[in-house]
Amino acid sequence: MAIVVVMAIVVIQLFMKKEIIEESVVTKTTGISELDGSEVDTNLKESTKPKAMVDTSSWDTSKVTVYTDKSENKAPIPVGYVVSQVIGETEINTGLVIYEGTEPVAGDEVGVPGTAAWDASCNRNQWVWVPVPDVSRIYDKSTRKSKTYKRTQTGREEYSANSEPVIMSSDDNEQNFSKYNLPGMTTKKLYYELDTELDETIKSIEKYGGFYIGRYETGNVKAQNVVTYFTKPVVKRMNRNINYVTWYDAYANLRTLGANENVKSNIIWGCLWDETLQWFRESGAKTDEELYNPATWGNYRISTFRYYENTTENQIVKSRGSETMVPTGSAEQNKANNVYDMAGNVSDWTLECSGGYRRGRGSTYNTITENAIRDNDRNYGKPNSYYSSTGVRAYMYIK
Protein backbone atom coordinates (compact mmCIF):
# COMPACT_ATOMS: atom_id res chain seq x y z
CA MET A 1 0.00 0.00 0.00
CA ALA A 2 2.88 2.39 0.87
CA ILE A 3 4.48 1.77 -2.53
CA VAL A 4 1.21 2.58 -4.30
CA VAL A 5 0.84 5.84 -2.34
CA VAL A 6 4.42 6.90 -3.16
CA MET A 7 3.94 6.15 -6.84
CA ALA A 8 0.71 8.18 -6.87
CA ILE A 9 2.48 11.15 -5.28
CA VAL A 10 5.29 10.98 -7.86
CA VAL A 11 2.79 10.94 -10.73
CA ILE A 12 0.92 13.94 -9.29
CA GLN A 13 4.17 15.88 -8.87
CA LEU A 14 5.20 15.16 -12.46
CA PHE A 15 1.90 16.46 -13.78
CA MET A 16 2.20 19.54 -11.58
CA LYS A 17 5.65 20.29 -13.03
CA LYS A 18 4.65 19.84 -16.65
CA GLU A 19 2.09 21.94 -18.43
CA ILE A 20 0.11 20.90 -21.45
CA ILE A 21 0.36 23.04 -24.56
CA GLU A 22 -2.24 22.58 -27.22
CA GLU A 23 -0.99 23.17 -30.78
CA SER A 24 -3.15 24.03 -33.74
CA VAL A 25 -3.02 23.06 -37.37
CA VAL A 26 -4.56 25.52 -39.79
CA THR A 27 -6.33 24.33 -42.90
CA LYS A 28 -6.36 26.90 -45.69
CA THR A 29 -8.94 27.86 -48.23
CA THR A 30 -8.11 30.30 -50.99
CA GLY A 31 -9.49 33.22 -52.93
CA ILE A 32 -8.10 35.41 -55.69
CA SER A 33 -5.89 38.45 -55.11
CA GLU A 34 -7.16 41.67 -56.66
CA LEU A 35 -3.55 42.74 -57.19
CA ASP A 36 -2.06 39.98 -59.29
CA GLY A 37 -4.65 37.22 -59.65
CA SER A 38 -2.73 34.78 -57.42
CA GLU A 39 -4.35 32.62 -54.77
CA VAL A 40 -4.52 34.08 -51.27
CA ASP A 41 -5.86 32.88 -47.93
CA THR A 42 -9.47 33.83 -47.24
CA ASN A 43 -10.15 32.00 -44.01
CA LEU A 44 -8.54 29.67 -41.49
CA LYS A 45 -10.08 26.63 -39.91
CA GLU A 46 -8.48 25.21 -36.80
CA SER A 47 -8.13 21.56 -35.89
CA THR A 48 -6.29 20.10 -32.93
CA LYS A 49 -2.91 18.39 -33.06
CA PRO A 50 -1.62 15.98 -30.39
CA LYS A 51 -0.66 17.91 -27.29
CA ALA A 52 2.99 18.61 -26.45
CA MET A 53 4.58 18.87 -23.02
CA VAL A 54 6.66 21.86 -21.91
CA ASP A 55 8.43 21.84 -18.55
CA THR A 56 8.61 25.40 -17.24
CA SER A 57 9.89 24.40 -13.79
CA SER A 58 13.51 24.54 -14.96
CA TRP A 59 13.22 28.04 -16.48
CA ASP A 60 15.49 30.60 -14.84
CA THR A 61 13.05 33.25 -13.66
CA SER A 62 15.89 35.67 -12.97
CA LYS A 63 16.39 35.77 -16.74
CA VAL A 64 12.87 35.23 -18.09
CA THR A 65 9.22 35.61 -17.25
CA VAL A 66 6.68 32.98 -18.28
CA TYR A 67 4.20 34.26 -20.87
CA THR A 68 0.93 32.41 -21.45
CA ASP A 69 -1.13 33.25 -24.54
CA LYS A 70 -4.89 32.83 -24.97
CA SER A 71 -4.39 29.29 -26.28
CA GLU A 72 -2.56 28.37 -23.05
CA ASN A 73 0.78 28.09 -24.91
CA LYS A 74 3.83 29.37 -23.05
CA ALA A 75 7.04 31.14 -24.00
CA PRO A 76 9.97 32.61 -22.06
CA ILE A 77 10.28 36.41 -22.27
CA PRO A 78 13.83 37.59 -21.55
CA VAL A 79 14.22 40.29 -18.94
CA GLY A 80 14.77 43.54 -20.82
CA TYR A 81 12.12 42.75 -23.44
CA VAL A 82 8.36 43.20 -23.54
CA VAL A 83 5.65 41.11 -25.19
CA SER A 84 3.77 42.87 -27.98
CA GLN A 85 0.16 43.82 -27.26
CA VAL A 86 -0.54 44.47 -30.94
CA ILE A 87 -3.41 42.42 -32.35
CA GLY A 88 -1.96 39.58 -34.39
CA GLU A 89 1.36 39.52 -32.52
CA THR A 90 0.40 37.90 -29.21
CA GLU A 91 -0.14 34.19 -30.03
CA ILE A 92 2.79 31.78 -29.99
CA ASN A 93 1.46 29.53 -32.73
CA THR A 94 1.09 32.41 -35.18
CA GLY A 95 4.12 34.51 -34.23
CA LEU A 96 4.68 35.96 -30.76
CA VAL A 97 6.59 39.24 -31.09
CA ILE A 98 8.77 40.79 -28.40
CA TYR A 99 10.26 44.30 -28.42
CA GLU A 100 13.56 45.37 -26.90
CA GLY A 101 12.92 47.58 -23.89
CA THR A 102 10.14 47.58 -21.34
CA GLU A 103 7.65 50.13 -22.70
CA PRO A 104 4.44 48.37 -23.88
CA VAL A 105 3.53 48.34 -27.58
CA ALA A 106 -0.17 48.13 -28.43
CA GLY A 107 -2.42 48.63 -31.45
CA ASP A 108 -4.70 46.90 -33.92
CA GLU A 109 -3.27 47.92 -37.30
CA VAL A 110 -0.27 45.81 -38.26
CA GLY A 111 1.90 47.27 -41.01
CA VAL A 112 0.14 50.67 -41.25
CA PRO A 113 2.35 53.81 -41.17
CA GLY A 114 1.43 56.48 -38.67
CA THR A 115 0.21 54.08 -35.99
CA ALA A 116 1.92 53.55 -32.63
CA ALA A 117 2.67 49.93 -33.54
CA TRP A 118 4.28 50.96 -36.84
CA ASP A 119 6.44 53.60 -35.14
CA ALA A 120 7.61 51.12 -32.52
CA SER A 121 8.45 48.51 -35.17
CA CYS A 122 10.58 51.08 -37.02
CA ASN A 123 12.45 52.18 -33.89
CA ARG A 124 12.88 49.13 -31.64
CA ASN A 125 14.51 45.76 -32.23
CA GLN A 126 12.02 42.90 -32.48
CA TRP A 127 12.19 39.12 -32.32
CA VAL A 128 9.71 36.31 -32.93
CA TRP A 129 9.57 33.15 -30.81
CA VAL A 130 10.05 29.90 -32.75
CA PRO A 131 8.91 26.86 -30.75
CA VAL A 132 10.96 23.68 -31.24
CA PRO A 133 9.03 20.55 -30.17
CA ASP A 134 11.98 18.14 -30.49
CA VAL A 135 15.64 19.21 -30.52
CA SER A 136 16.66 15.98 -32.27
CA ARG A 137 15.09 17.42 -35.43
CA ILE A 138 17.88 20.00 -35.64
CA TYR A 139 20.85 18.41 -33.86
CA ASP A 140 22.63 15.05 -33.77
CA LYS A 141 24.08 14.56 -30.29
CA SER A 142 26.28 11.66 -31.40
CA THR A 143 28.15 13.75 -33.99
CA ARG A 144 27.60 17.13 -32.30
CA LYS A 145 26.55 18.56 -35.65
CA SER A 146 23.37 20.24 -36.75
CA LYS A 147 20.81 18.72 -39.11
CA THR A 148 19.84 20.72 -42.18
CA TYR A 149 17.03 20.08 -44.66
CA LYS A 150 15.82 20.88 -48.13
CA ARG A 151 12.19 21.48 -49.01
CA THR A 152 10.17 19.28 -51.35
CA GLN A 153 6.65 19.68 -52.68
CA THR A 154 5.40 17.34 -49.96
CA GLY A 155 7.62 18.14 -46.99
CA ARG A 156 11.32 18.21 -46.23
CA GLU A 157 14.23 15.79 -46.26
CA GLU A 158 17.66 15.89 -44.65
CA TYR A 159 20.32 17.75 -46.59
CA SER A 160 23.63 16.12 -45.72
CA ALA A 161 25.74 18.16 -48.18
CA ASN A 162 26.09 20.96 -45.63
CA SER A 163 27.43 20.99 -42.12
CA GLU A 164 27.61 23.08 -38.95
CA PRO A 165 29.87 24.04 -37.25
CA VAL A 166 32.61 24.19 -39.91
CA ILE A 167 35.82 26.11 -40.55
CA MET A 168 36.73 27.07 -44.13
CA SER A 169 40.43 26.25 -44.52
CA SER A 170 40.79 28.40 -47.64
CA ASP A 171 39.34 31.60 -46.14
CA ASP A 172 39.23 31.51 -42.35
CA ASN A 173 42.68 32.99 -41.75
CA GLU A 174 44.19 35.92 -39.86
CA GLN A 175 44.47 38.09 -42.99
CA ASN A 176 40.71 37.97 -43.60
CA PHE A 177 39.90 38.23 -39.90
CA SER A 178 41.97 41.39 -39.57
CA LYS A 179 40.57 43.02 -42.72
CA TYR A 180 36.91 42.28 -42.02
CA ASN A 181 36.49 43.40 -38.41
CA LEU A 182 37.65 40.30 -36.54
CA PRO A 183 41.09 41.43 -35.26
CA GLY A 184 42.72 38.92 -32.94
CA MET A 185 40.64 36.02 -34.27
CA THR A 186 42.39 32.77 -35.21
CA THR A 187 41.16 29.74 -37.12
CA LYS A 188 41.25 27.62 -33.98
CA LYS A 189 39.44 30.25 -31.93
CA LEU A 190 36.69 30.67 -34.54
CA TYR A 191 35.96 26.95 -34.59
CA TYR A 192 35.91 26.87 -30.79
CA GLU A 193 33.46 29.76 -30.70
CA LEU A 194 31.17 28.19 -33.30
CA ASP A 195 31.25 24.79 -31.62
CA THR A 196 30.54 26.32 -28.21
CA GLU A 197 27.79 28.56 -29.60
CA LEU A 198 25.95 25.64 -31.19
CA ASP A 199 26.24 23.61 -28.00
CA GLU A 200 24.87 26.50 -25.89
CA THR A 201 22.09 27.13 -28.39
CA ILE A 202 20.93 23.52 -28.30
CA LYS A 203 21.00 23.46 -24.49
CA SER A 204 18.92 26.64 -24.40
CA ILE A 205 16.39 25.21 -26.86
CA GLU A 206 16.13 22.03 -24.79
CA LYS A 207 15.54 24.05 -21.64
CA TYR A 208 13.15 26.71 -22.96
CA GLY A 209 11.55 24.93 -25.90
CA GLY A 210 12.62 27.25 -28.71
CA PHE A 211 14.60 30.31 -29.82
CA TYR A 212 14.03 33.82 -31.14
CA ILE A 213 14.52 34.78 -34.78
CA GLY A 214 15.08 38.32 -36.01
CA ARG A 215 11.75 39.63 -37.25
CA TYR A 216 13.46 41.45 -40.14
CA GLU A 217 16.65 41.20 -42.13
CA THR A 218 19.43 42.85 -40.14
CA GLY A 219 20.01 46.50 -41.00
CA ASN A 220 22.51 49.37 -40.67
CA VAL A 221 25.22 48.25 -43.08
CA LYS A 222 27.47 51.15 -44.12
CA ALA A 223 29.88 51.44 -47.05
CA GLN A 224 33.42 52.75 -46.58
CA ASN A 225 35.47 52.79 -49.77
CA VAL A 226 35.31 49.18 -51.01
CA VAL A 227 34.62 47.65 -47.58
CA THR A 228 31.22 47.57 -45.91
CA TYR A 229 30.53 47.23 -42.23
CA PHE A 230 27.82 47.58 -39.60
CA THR A 231 27.53 50.83 -37.69
CA LYS A 232 25.29 49.17 -35.08
CA PRO A 233 23.13 46.29 -36.32
CA VAL A 234 19.38 46.56 -35.84
CA VAL A 235 16.32 44.35 -36.36
CA LYS A 236 13.82 47.06 -37.27
CA ARG A 237 11.20 47.62 -39.95
CA MET A 238 11.85 49.79 -43.05
CA ASN A 239 15.65 49.53 -43.01
CA ARG A 240 17.07 49.60 -46.55
CA ASN A 241 20.73 49.24 -45.55
CA ILE A 242 20.59 45.46 -45.43
CA ASN A 243 22.99 44.31 -48.18
CA TYR A 244 26.70 44.40 -49.11
CA VAL A 245 27.83 42.79 -45.88
CA THR A 246 30.61 40.22 -45.52
CA TRP A 247 30.05 37.11 -43.44
CA TYR A 248 32.94 38.10 -41.19
CA ASP A 249 31.55 41.54 -40.41
CA ALA A 250 28.13 40.02 -39.76
CA TYR A 251 29.69 37.50 -37.37
CA ALA A 252 31.58 40.25 -35.55
CA ASN A 253 28.58 42.52 -35.13
CA LEU A 254 25.40 40.45 -34.79
CA ARG A 255 26.63 39.20 -31.44
CA THR A 256 26.01 42.72 -30.11
CA LEU A 257 22.26 42.58 -30.79
CA GLY A 258 21.37 40.90 -27.50
CA ALA A 259 20.36 43.70 -25.18
CA ASN A 260 21.72 42.31 -21.93
CA GLU A 261 23.36 39.45 -20.05
CA ASN A 262 20.25 37.26 -20.30
CA VAL A 263 20.43 36.60 -24.05
CA LYS A 264 22.94 36.07 -26.82
CA SER A 265 22.61 36.70 -30.55
CA ASN A 266 24.48 35.76 -33.70
CA ILE A 267 24.10 34.91 -37.39
CA ILE A 268 21.35 32.29 -37.61
CA TRP A 269 22.33 28.63 -37.94
CA GLY A 270 21.09 26.85 -41.07
CA CYS A 271 19.34 24.28 -38.89
CA LEU A 272 17.38 27.06 -37.16
CA TRP A 273 16.44 28.55 -40.53
CA ASP A 274 15.10 25.14 -41.57
CA GLU A 275 13.23 24.73 -38.29
CA THR A 276 11.63 28.13 -38.76
CA LEU A 277 10.34 27.05 -42.17
CA GLN A 278 9.02 23.84 -40.63
CA TRP A 279 7.23 25.87 -37.97
CA PHE A 280 5.57 27.88 -40.75
CA ARG A 281 4.33 24.57 -42.15
CA GLU A 282 3.22 22.96 -38.90
CA SER A 283 1.44 26.09 -37.69
CA GLY A 284 -0.43 26.30 -41.00
CA ALA A 285 1.08 29.64 -42.05
CA LYS A 286 2.49 28.11 -45.25
CA THR A 287 1.93 24.90 -47.19
CA ASP A 288 4.67 22.56 -48.35
CA GLU A 289 4.14 23.83 -51.88
CA GLU A 290 4.49 27.46 -50.76
CA LEU A 291 7.74 26.67 -48.97
CA TYR A 292 9.04 24.74 -51.98
CA ASN A 293 8.05 27.54 -54.36
CA PRO A 294 7.74 30.81 -52.37
CA ALA A 295 7.17 33.08 -55.37
CA THR A 296 3.75 34.17 -54.05
CA TRP A 297 5.05 35.44 -50.69
CA GLY A 298 8.60 36.58 -51.37
CA ASN A 299 10.33 39.41 -53.20
CA TYR A 300 11.71 38.07 -56.48
CA ARG A 301 11.99 39.43 -59.99
CA ILE A 302 8.75 37.63 -60.87
CA SER A 303 6.88 38.85 -57.76
CA THR A 304 4.06 41.41 -57.63
CA PHE A 305 3.01 43.04 -54.37
CA ARG A 306 2.53 46.36 -52.59
CA TYR A 307 5.21 47.82 -50.36
CA TYR A 308 6.18 51.06 -48.62
CA GLU A 309 9.19 52.93 -49.98
CA ASN A 310 9.42 54.89 -46.73
CA THR A 311 7.33 55.57 -43.64
CA THR A 312 5.34 58.46 -45.11
CA GLU A 313 4.51 57.57 -48.72
CA ASN A 314 1.55 55.57 -49.99
CA GLN A 315 2.10 51.99 -51.00
CA ILE A 316 3.94 51.30 -54.24
CA VAL A 317 3.20 48.37 -56.55
CA LYS A 318 6.28 46.28 -57.20
CA SER A 319 5.64 45.09 -60.75
CA ARG A 320 6.44 41.66 -62.12
CA GLY A 321 9.86 41.58 -63.75
CA SER A 322 11.43 44.44 -61.79
CA GLU A 323 14.60 43.79 -59.80
CA THR A 324 13.73 45.76 -56.68
CA MET A 325 15.20 45.34 -53.21
CA VAL A 326 12.60 46.70 -50.79
CA PRO A 327 13.06 47.93 -47.21
CA THR A 328 12.80 44.97 -44.90
CA GLY A 329 9.32 44.66 -43.37
CA SER A 330 7.77 46.99 -45.96
CA ALA A 331 5.32 44.46 -47.48
CA GLU A 332 2.74 42.52 -45.47
CA GLN A 333 2.53 39.88 -48.21
CA ASN A 334 6.17 39.00 -47.59
CA LYS A 335 5.78 37.67 -44.05
CA ALA A 336 4.89 34.42 -42.32
CA ASN A 337 4.02 34.23 -38.62
CA ASN A 338 5.20 37.85 -38.24
CA VAL A 339 8.67 37.10 -39.68
CA TYR A 340 9.40 39.21 -42.76
CA ASP A 341 11.41 38.51 -45.91
CA MET A 342 12.42 34.91 -45.25
CA ALA A 343 11.73 34.45 -48.97
CA GLY A 344 13.46 36.71 -51.46
CA ASN A 345 14.61 40.31 -50.98
CA VAL A 346 18.24 39.71 -49.95
CA SER A 347 19.74 36.28 -49.33
CA ASP A 348 20.58 35.99 -45.63
CA TRP A 349 23.98 34.75 -44.44
CA THR A 350 23.79 31.76 -42.09
CA LEU A 351 26.40 29.75 -40.17
CA GLU A 352 25.85 26.90 -42.64
CA CYS A 353 28.76 25.84 -44.85
CA SER A 354 29.37 23.55 -47.83
CA GLY A 355 32.10 22.97 -50.40
CA GLY A 356 34.31 25.88 -49.39
CA TYR A 357 31.45 28.38 -49.21
CA ARG A 358 29.29 29.91 -46.53
CA ARG A 359 25.60 29.67 -47.32
CA GLY A 360 23.00 32.37 -47.67
CA ARG A 361 19.36 31.36 -47.43
CA GLY A 362 16.10 32.61 -48.90
CA SER A 363 17.16 33.50 -52.45
CA THR A 364 17.19 37.09 -53.77
CA TYR A 365 15.17 39.94 -55.26
CA ASN A 366 16.83 39.49 -58.68
CA THR A 367 16.05 35.77 -59.02
CA ILE A 368 14.22 35.36 -62.31
CA THR A 369 12.23 32.10 -62.56
CA GLU A 370 10.38 29.75 -60.21
CA ASN A 371 12.94 27.01 -60.88
CA ALA A 372 15.75 29.40 -60.01
CA ILE A 373 13.94 30.40 -56.80
CA ARG A 374 13.86 26.78 -55.68
CA ASP A 375 17.43 26.07 -56.81
CA ASN A 376 18.84 29.20 -55.17
CA ASP A 377 17.28 28.78 -51.74
CA ARG A 378 20.86 28.10 -50.68
CA ASN A 379 23.25 30.63 -52.20
CA TYR A 380 27.00 30.15 -52.21
CA GLY A 381 29.31 32.92 -51.03
CA LYS A 382 32.88 33.49 -49.88
CA PRO A 383 32.82 34.93 -46.34
CA ASN A 384 35.05 37.86 -47.32
CA SER A 385 32.78 38.82 -50.25
CA TYR A 386 29.84 41.19 -50.28
CA TYR A 387 27.05 41.37 -52.81
CA SER A 388 24.14 43.65 -53.67
CA SER A 389 21.77 40.75 -53.00
CA THR A 390 23.24 39.42 -49.73
CA GLY A 391 22.35 40.43 -46.18
CA VAL A 392 22.09 38.52 -42.93
CA ARG A 393 19.48 37.14 -40.50
CA ALA A 394 20.01 37.09 -36.72
CA TYR A 395 18.77 34.74 -34.03
CA MET A 396 18.79 35.04 -30.26
CA TYR A 397 18.75 32.49 -27.46
CA ILE A 398 18.46 32.69 -23.69
CA LYS A 399 21.76 32.09 -21.90
Position 185 confidence tier, pLDDT thresholds 50, 70, 90: very high
72 is a domain residue? no
391 vs 387: CA distance, rounded Å = 8
Please state, for a pLDDT cut of 70, what percent of the chain lies above it: 85
- pLDDT given at position 53: 56
Query: Given CA atoms 224, 228, 229, 235 in this order, what sign does their dihedral have?
Result: positive
Please count the structural domains in the chain: 1
HEC string of the chain?
Answer: CHHHHHHHHHHHHHHHHEEEECCEEEEEEEEECCCCCCEEEEEEEEEECCCEEEECCCCCCCCEEEEECCCCCEEEEECCEEECEECCCCCHHHCCEEEECCCCCEECCCCCCCCHHHHHHHHCCEEEEEECCCHHHCEECCCCEECCEEEECCEEEECCCCECCCCCCCCCCHHHHHHCCCCCCCHHHHHHHHHHHHHHHHHHHHHHCEEEEECCCCEEEEEECCEEEEEEEECCCCECCCCCCCHHHHHHHHCCCCCCCCEEEEECCHHHHHHHHHHHHHHCCCCHHHHHCHHHCCECCCCCEEEECCCCCCEEEECCCCCCCCCECCCHHHEECCEECCCECCEEEEEEEECCEEEEECCCCCCCCHHHHHHCCEEEECCCCCCCCEEECEEEEEC
Burial string for 214-242 (b: 16+ CB within 10 Å, else e) reads bbbbbbbbeeeeeebbbeebbbbbbbebb
Write the pLDDT tens digit of every residue in 36-88.
Answer: 333 444 343 333 343 445 789 999 999 999 999 999 999 999 999 999 999 99
- pLDDT given at position 163: 81
In contact, 271 and 265? CB cutoff 8 Å: no
56 vs 58: CA distance, rounded Å = 5
Kindly report the pTM of this predicted structure.
0.87
6 is a domain residue? no
- pLDDT given at position 227: 67
- pLDDT given at position 226: 60
104 is a domain residue? no
Is 9's pLDDT higher than 80? no
Write the pLDDT tens digit of every residue in 79-131.
Answer: 999 999 999 999 999 999 999 999 999 998 788 898 899 999 999 999 999 99
Write the pLDDT tens digit of every residue in 279-304.
Answer: 999 999 999 999 999 999 999 999 99
- pLDDT given at position 224: 61
309 is a domain residue? yes
Write the pLDDT tens digit of every residue in 190-240.
Answer: 999 999 999 999 999 999 999 999 999 999 988 666 667 788 899 999 999
Q: Average of pLDDT values for 364-389?
A: 91
Lowest mean pLDDT among 141-145, 228-232, 246-250, 327-331: 228-232
Write the pLDDT tens digit of every residue in 260-269.
Answer: 999 999 999 9
251 is a domain residue? yes
User: Residue 158's domain spans which residues?
Assistant: 135-398
Is 345's pLDDT higher than 60? yes
- pLDDT given at position 93: 97
- pLDDT given at position 249: 93
124 is a domain residue? no
129 vs 337: CA distance, rounded Å = 10
Position 323 confidence tier, pLDDT thresholds 50, 70, 90: very high
Is 318's pLDDT higher than 50? yes
